[in-house]
Amino acid sequence: MSNIYFFRGKAATGKTTITDALSNKIKVSILRKDNIFDVISHYIDDNSINNSITYDLLAKMIQTNINIVQI
């Protein structure tokens, strides 16, 4: 079974620093909401739509990876 860790918090609280260190230590991939949001925001100006699309994409990526691991 796979583990999924979620890190959330206010801006500039160290989420990226901690997840970078964790990624290097235990050799895991990191999916960052902000990275996806930034790309989408170049095409769509509405932040509420951007957030919806971002979370839908993250959910799909997580689901796809869980299914791959369970096969």
Q: Where are the domains of the chain?
A: 31-70
pLDDT for 28 = 86
Q: How far apart are CA 31 and CA 62, in angstroms?
A: 9
Q: How far apart are CA 24 and CA 29, in angstroms?
A: 9
User: In the Cβ-directed half-sphere of 65, how many Cα atoms lie within 13 Å?
Assistant: 13
**pLDDT-based confidence at 71, cuts 50/70/90?**
very low
**pLDDT-based confidence at 70, cuts 50/70/90?**
low
pLDDT for 16 = 94
- Could you report the per-residue pLDDT of 27-61, keeping only the tens digit for each? 888 999 999 999 999 999 999 999 999 999 999 99
